[in-house]
Protein backbone atom coordinates (compact mmCIF):
# COMPACT_ATOMS: atom_id res chain seq x y z
CA UNK A 1 0.00 0.00 0.00
CA UNK A 2 1.31 3.47 -0.86
CA UNK A 3 1.47 6.14 1.81
CA UNK A 4 1.05 9.75 0.81
CA UNK A 5 4.02 11.68 2.16
CA UNK A 6 3.14 15.17 0.99
CA UNK A 7 -0.04 16.59 -0.49
CA UNK A 8 -0.95 20.09 -1.60
CA UNK A 9 -4.53 21.21 -2.12
CA UNK A 10 -5.33 24.39 -4.03
CA UNK A 11 -1.92 25.82 -3.15
CA UNK A 12 -1.56 29.46 -4.17
CA UNK A 13 1.45 31.77 -3.99
CA UNK A 14 1.96 35.48 -4.46
CA UNK A 15 4.85 37.92 -4.84
CA UNK A 16 3.16 41.07 -3.58
CA UNK A 17 0.14 41.50 -5.85
CA UNK A 18 1.51 39.12 -8.48
CA UNK A 19 -0.02 35.63 -8.32
CA UNK A 20 2.50 32.93 -9.30
CA UNK A 21 0.57 29.76 -8.36
CA UNK A 22 -3.17 29.26 -8.95
CA UNK A 23 -4.32 26.28 -6.92
CA UNK A 24 -1.79 23.46 -7.26
CA UNK A 25 -3.00 19.94 -6.35
CA UNK A 26 0.02 17.67 -5.98
CA UNK A 27 0.92 14.42 -4.22
CA UNK A 28 4.03 12.37 -3.61
CA UNK A 29 4.24 9.01 -1.82
CA UNK A 30 6.97 7.92 0.57
CA UNK A 31 9.98 6.70 -1.44
CA UNK A 32 8.65 8.00 -4.76
CA UNK A 33 10.48 10.13 -7.35
CA UNK A 34 8.34 12.81 -9.02
CA UNK A 35 9.51 15.27 -11.68
CA UNK A 36 8.09 18.72 -12.28
CA UNK A 37 8.64 20.17 -15.73
CA UNK A 38 7.50 23.39 -17.34
CA UNK A 39 8.76 26.45 -19.22
CA UNK A 40 10.61 29.36 -17.59
CA UNK A 41 8.31 31.19 -15.22
CA UNK A 42 5.77 28.34 -14.97
CA UNK A 43 6.05 28.40 -11.17
CA UNK A 44 8.24 25.35 -10.46
CA UNK A 45 10.71 27.11 -8.14
CA UNK A 46 7.90 28.99 -6.45
CA UNK A 47 6.20 25.67 -5.73
CA UNK A 48 9.36 24.22 -4.11
CA UNK A 49 9.91 27.43 -2.14
CA UNK A 50 6.34 27.21 -0.85
CA UNK A 51 6.90 23.63 0.35
CA UNK A 52 9.86 24.68 2.50
CA UNK A 53 8.25 27.83 3.88
CA UNK A 54 10.31 30.37 1.90
CA UNK A 55 7.09 31.53 0.21
CA UNK A 56 4.06 31.85 2.43
CA UNK A 57 1.34 29.20 2.04
CA UNK A 58 -2.06 28.82 3.69
CA UNK A 59 -1.99 26.53 6.73
CA UNK A 60 -4.04 23.70 5.26
CA UNK A 61 -2.72 23.95 1.68
CA UNK A 62 0.24 21.67 2.45
CA UNK A 63 0.06 18.41 4.39
CA UNK A 64 3.22 16.49 5.21
CA UNK A 65 2.98 13.12 6.95
CA UNK A 66 -0.73 13.82 7.45
CA UNK A 67 -0.15 17.13 9.28
CA UNK A 68 -0.64 20.70 8.00
CA UNK A 69 2.71 22.51 7.55
CA UNK A 70 1.64 25.57 5.53
CA UNK A 71 2.82 28.74 7.27
CA UNK A 72 5.60 27.02 9.27
CA UNK A 73 8.99 28.77 9.17
CA UNK A 74 11.71 27.13 7.02
CA UNK A 75 13.83 25.85 9.94
CA UNK A 76 10.78 24.09 11.39
CA UNK A 77 10.03 22.46 8.02
CA UNK A 78 13.62 21.14 7.80
CA UNK A 79 13.11 19.58 11.23
CA UNK A 80 9.90 17.96 9.95
CA UNK A 81 11.94 16.30 7.18
CA UNK A 82 11.88 18.37 3.95
CA UNK A 83 15.14 19.74 2.48
CA UNK A 84 15.66 21.92 -0.59
CA UNK A 85 18.64 21.87 -2.95
CA UNK A 86 18.12 25.35 -4.41
CA UNK A 87 18.77 26.45 -7.97
CA UNK A 88 22.24 28.00 -8.21
CA UNK A 89 23.67 25.81 -5.40
CA UNK A 90 24.28 28.69 -2.92
CA UNK A 91 27.28 27.39 -0.97
CA UNK A 92 29.01 29.50 1.66
CA UNK A 93 32.07 30.42 -0.43
CA UNK A 94 34.48 31.07 2.43
CA UNK A 95 33.70 27.76 4.17
CA UNK A 96 35.28 24.44 3.24
CA UNK A 97 33.40 21.54 1.70
CA UNK A 98 33.22 19.82 5.07
CA UNK A 99 32.02 22.95 6.88
CA UNK A 100 29.32 23.45 4.25
CA UNK A 101 28.20 19.85 4.68
CA UNK A 102 28.18 20.03 8.48
CA UNK A 103 25.98 23.13 8.34
CA UNK A 104 23.32 21.02 6.64
CA UNK A 105 22.99 18.91 9.77
CA UNK A 106 21.60 21.89 11.75
CA UNK A 107 18.72 21.88 12.19
CA UNK A 108 18.31 18.26 11.32
CA UNK A 109 16.88 14.96 12.37
CA UNK A 110 18.40 11.63 13.26
CA UNK A 111 18.58 9.27 10.28
CA UNK A 112 20.81 7.37 7.89
CA UNK A 113 22.81 10.30 6.50
CA UNK A 114 26.17 11.33 7.94
CA UNK A 115 29.34 12.95 6.65
CA UNK A 116 30.77 9.48 5.94
CA UNK A 117 27.72 8.45 3.95
CA UNK A 118 27.75 11.65 1.88
CA UNK A 119 31.45 11.03 1.14
CA UNK A 120 30.60 7.48 0.08
CA UNK A 121 27.95 8.90 -2.28
CA UNK A 122 30.32 11.53 -3.75
CA UNK A 123 33.94 10.35 -3.12
CA UNK A 124 35.40 13.47 -4.79
CA UNK A 125 34.03 15.54 -1.91
CA UNK A 126 36.11 13.63 0.61
CA UNK A 127 39.23 14.34 -1.47
CA UNK A 128 38.29 18.01 -1.49
CA UNK A 129 36.98 18.20 2.07
CA UNK A 130 39.31 21.08 3.04
CA UNK A 131 38.85 23.14 -0.13
CA UNK A 132 36.77 26.31 0.01
CA UNK A 133 33.44 26.27 -1.83
CA UNK A 134 34.80 28.73 -4.41
CA UNK A 135 37.58 26.31 -5.50
CA UNK A 136 35.11 23.67 -6.68
CA UNK A 137 33.78 23.03 -10.18
CA UNK A 138 30.07 23.60 -10.82
CA UNK A 139 29.39 19.88 -10.61
CA UNK A 140 31.25 19.51 -7.32
CA UNK A 141 29.34 22.47 -5.89
CA UNK A 142 26.12 20.74 -6.90
CA UNK A 143 27.27 17.62 -5.06
CA UNK A 144 27.97 19.67 -1.92
CA UNK A 145 24.52 21.26 -2.20
CA UNK A 146 22.89 17.81 -2.43
CA UNK A 147 25.08 16.43 0.40
CA UNK A 148 24.29 19.41 2.60
CA UNK A 149 20.55 18.84 2.13
CA UNK A 150 20.93 15.11 2.87
CA UNK A 151 22.77 15.88 6.12
CA UNK A 152 19.44 17.03 7.61
CA UNK A 153 18.11 13.49 6.99
CA UNK A 154 15.04 14.49 4.98
CA UNK A 155 12.23 12.08 4.07
CA UNK A 156 11.62 14.40 1.13
CA UNK A 157 14.39 16.01 -0.92
CA UNK A 158 13.57 18.83 -3.35
CA UNK A 159 16.01 19.37 -6.22
CA UNK A 160 15.66 22.52 -8.30
CA UNK A 161 17.15 22.48 -11.83
CA UNK A 162 20.26 20.59 -10.88
CA UNK A 163 21.39 20.28 -14.50
CA UNK A 164 21.57 24.02 -15.11
CA UNK A 165 24.95 24.92 -16.63
CA UNK A 166 26.54 21.49 -16.11
CA UNK A 167 28.12 19.21 -18.72
CA UNK A 168 26.28 16.03 -19.77
CA UNK A 169 28.91 13.86 -18.06
CA UNK A 170 28.52 15.63 -14.73
CA UNK A 171 24.74 15.53 -15.05
CA UNK A 172 24.99 11.77 -15.55
CA UNK A 173 27.12 11.43 -12.39
CA UNK A 174 24.75 13.54 -10.35
CA UNK A 175 21.68 11.66 -11.56
CA UNK A 176 23.61 8.45 -10.85
CA UNK A 177 23.37 9.29 -7.15
CA UNK A 178 19.55 9.24 -7.24
CA UNK A 179 18.96 5.49 -6.79
CA UNK A 180 21.19 5.48 -3.68
CA UNK A 181 19.29 8.42 -2.22
CA UNK A 182 15.95 6.72 -2.88
CA UNK A 183 17.28 3.42 -1.45
CA UNK A 184 18.00 5.28 1.80
CA UNK A 185 14.23 5.89 2.02
CA UNK A 186 14.12 9.47 0.74
CA UNK A 187 11.42 10.60 -1.68
CA UNK A 188 12.58 13.13 -4.26
CA UNK A 189 10.91 15.93 -6.22
CA UNK A 190 13.06 16.91 -9.21
CA UNK A 191 12.47 20.14 -11.09
CA UNK A 192 13.94 19.64 -14.53
CA UNK A 193 13.94 21.57 -17.84
CA UNK A 194 15.07 18.50 -19.79
CA UNK A 195 11.89 16.51 -20.50
CA UNK A 196 13.74 13.29 -21.40
CA UNK A 197 15.73 13.36 -18.17
CA UNK A 198 12.58 14.13 -16.17
CA UNK A 199 10.78 11.12 -17.67
CA UNK A 200 13.71 8.74 -17.18
CA UNK A 201 14.27 9.55 -13.54
CA UNK A 202 10.72 9.79 -12.20
CA UNK A 203 7.84 7.44 -11.42
CA UNK A 204 5.40 10.26 -12.07
CA UNK A 205 5.52 13.62 -13.74
CA UNK A 206 3.71 16.93 -13.31
CA UNK A 207 3.83 19.66 -15.92
CA UNK A 208 3.25 23.26 -14.78
CA UNK A 209 2.07 26.00 -17.07
CA UNK A 210 1.54 29.59 -15.97
CA UNK A 211 1.12 28.63 -12.33
CA UNK A 212 -1.22 25.69 -12.90
CA UNK A 213 -0.84 21.93 -13.33
CA UNK A 214 -1.36 21.34 -17.05
CA UNK A 215 -0.68 17.58 -16.97
CA UNK A 216 0.00 14.86 -14.41
CA UNK A 217 0.53 11.14 -14.78
CA UNK A 218 2.86 8.16 -14.68
CA UNK A 219 6.01 8.79 -16.70
CA UNK A 220 5.60 5.53 -18.61
CA UNK A 221 1.99 6.30 -19.52
CA UNK A 222 2.40 9.83 -20.91
CA UNK A 223 3.24 10.42 -24.55
CA UNK A 224 5.72 12.99 -25.87
CA UNK A 225 2.82 14.71 -27.66
CA UNK A 226 0.79 15.08 -24.46
CA UNK A 227 3.83 16.46 -22.70
CA UNK A 228 4.74 18.92 -25.46
CA UNK A 229 1.22 20.27 -25.48
CA UNK A 230 1.12 20.61 -21.68
CA UNK A 231 4.61 22.19 -21.68
CA UNK A 232 4.24 24.71 -24.45
CA UNK A 233 0.45 25.12 -24.46
CA UNK A 234 -1.74 25.03 -27.48
CA UNK A 235 -1.82 28.80 -28.04
P1 LIG B 1 12.52 29.03 -14.05
O2 LIG B 1 12.69 27.79 -14.81
O3 LIG B 1 12.83 30.26 -14.88
O4 LIG B 1 13.18 29.05 -12.71
P5 LIG B 1 10.01 28.53 -12.74
O6 LIG B 1 9.02 27.63 -13.38
O7 LIG B 1 10.80 28.02 -11.61
O8 LIG B 1 10.94 29.17 -13.84
P9 LIG B 1 9.31 30.64 -10.95
O10 LIG B 1 10.71 31.07 -10.74
O11 LIG B 1 8.61 29.93 -9.86
O12 LIG B 1 9.18 29.80 -12.28
O13 LIG B 1 8.47 31.94 -11.33
C14 LIG B 1 7.04 31.94 -11.43
C15 LIG B 1 6.56 33.37 -11.68
O16 LIG B 1 6.82 34.14 -10.50
C17 LIG B 1 7.28 34.06 -12.83
O18 LIG B 1 6.33 34.89 -13.50
C19 LIG B 1 8.32 34.91 -12.13
O20 LIG B 1 8.62 36.07 -12.88
C21 LIG B 1 7.65 35.27 -10.83
N22 LIG B 1 8.62 35.44 -9.73
C23 LIG B 1 9.53 34.53 -9.30
N24 LIG B 1 10.25 35.01 -8.28
C25 LIG B 1 9.79 36.26 -8.05
C26 LIG B 1 10.12 37.31 -7.12
N27 LIG B 1 11.08 37.13 -6.20
N28 LIG B 1 9.41 38.46 -7.20
C29 LIG B 1 8.44 38.63 -8.12
N30 LIG B 1 8.07 37.69 -9.02
C31 LIG B 1 8.73 36.54 -8.99
Residue pLDDT, tens place only, 117-140:
999 999 999 999 999 988 888 889
148 C-beta closer than 6 A to ligand 1: no
- Rounded to 10 degrees, what is the CA torsion of 132, 137, 139, 143? -10
Q: Per-residue confidence at 110, pLDDT binned at 50, 70, 90? A: confident
The alpha carbon of residue 146 and the mean position of all alpha carbons in its chain are separated, in whole angstroms, by: 9
CA–centroid distance, 144 to ligand 1, in Å, is 25
Predicted pLDDT at 174: 87
Q: 193: CA distance to ligand 1 center in Å?
A: 14
Give the integer Cα–Cα distance in Å for 205 and 37.
8
Asked whether the predicted pLDDT for residue 80 surpasses 70, the reply is: yes
CB neighbour class for 168 (10 Å; exposed up to 12, middle 13-18, buried from 19): exposed
Residues 205-216: pLDDT tens digits? 999 999 999 999
Does ligand 1 come within 6 angstroms of the Cβ of 81? Answer: no
Beta-carbon contacts of residue 82 (< 8 Å; ≥ 6 apart): 6, 51, 52, 64, 69, 154, 155, 156, 158
Length of the chain: 235
163 DSSP assignment:
T
Structure confidence at residue 168 as a pLDDT band (50, 70, 90): confident
Mean pLDDT, rounded, for 17-38: 96
Between the CA of 228 and the centroid of ligand 1 the distance, in Å, is: 21
Q: Cβ distance 103 to 148 under 8 Å?
A: yes
Q: Is 46 in the pocket of ligand 1 (CB under 6 A)?
A: yes
Helix pair angle (168-176, 138-150), 10° resolution: 20
How far is it, in rounded angstroms, from Cα 157 to Cα 127?
25
**Mean pLDDT score of the chain:** 91
DSSP 5-17: EEEEEEEEEEETT
Using alpha carbons, select from 209, 206, 143 the residue that is nearest to residue 174. 143
pTM over the 0.90 mark: yes
Question: Order of strands, edge to edge, in the sheet holding 204-209?
Answer: 82-85, 156-160, 187-191, 33-37, 204-209, 212-218
How far is the C-alpha of 81 from the C-alpha of 92, rounded, in Å? 22
Find the 164 Cα to ligand 1 centroid distance in Å: 16
Amino acid sequence: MNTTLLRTRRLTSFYGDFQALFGIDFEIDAGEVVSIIGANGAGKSTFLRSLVGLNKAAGTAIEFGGRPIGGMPPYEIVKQGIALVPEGRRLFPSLTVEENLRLGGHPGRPGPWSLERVYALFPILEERRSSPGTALSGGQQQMVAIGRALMSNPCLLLRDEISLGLSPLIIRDIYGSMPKIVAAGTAVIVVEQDIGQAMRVADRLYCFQEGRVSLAGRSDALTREQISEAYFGSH
